[in-house]
Amino acid sequence: MKFAILINSAPFSHQASDTAYQFCQAALNKGHLIHRVFFYHDAVYIGSSLMCPPQDEPNITVHWQNLAKQHGFDLAICIAAALRRGVLNEQEAKRYGKSSANLAAEFKIVGLGQLVEACLTADRLMVFGG
């Protein structure tokens, strides 16, 4: 089965993004496919490269980067939600005159249409958090 994943909750404050990660791992281990993981609402913070959790705590951003690289699926961040919350790639940082960009590698800033496209392409959408 091909899954699309929507995550709506902030990292650390909520377990949703950890649960989503574990779901994806389990699904991939069973031979299912992940089409795209879409980060919306406060989940866009997961795409910030500036998060520095203590070394003995999991870094959810790095977990997603590794899993996406290994299995070749998209980590898509909603542009409107990301700009509001200060998660910017180089292009957006330049456009808004900000001193730096902070989007983590492997993540892409995309339009909301990519969420709808994922819903239409996947066999099933799984929503985590919110």
Give the interface with other proteins as residue ranges (CB under 8 A).
Answer: 6, 8, 40-41, 80-81, 111-113, 115-117, 119-120, 125, 127, 130
104: DSSP letter: P
Residue type at 62 in one-letter notation: V
Comparison of 60 and 115: residue with beta carbon closer to other proteins: 115
- Min dist CB 113 to other proteins, Å, is 6
| Pairwise CA distance, residues 118 & 30, whole Å | 21
Question: Does residue 78 carry a catalytic annotation?
Answer: yes
Query: Which residue from 55, 35, 60 is spatially nearest to 118, judged by alpha carbons?
Result: 35
10 vs 62 by CB, closer to other proteins: 10
Specify the residue, 66 or 121, whose C-beta has the smaller distance to other proteins. Answer: 121
Catalytic residues: 78
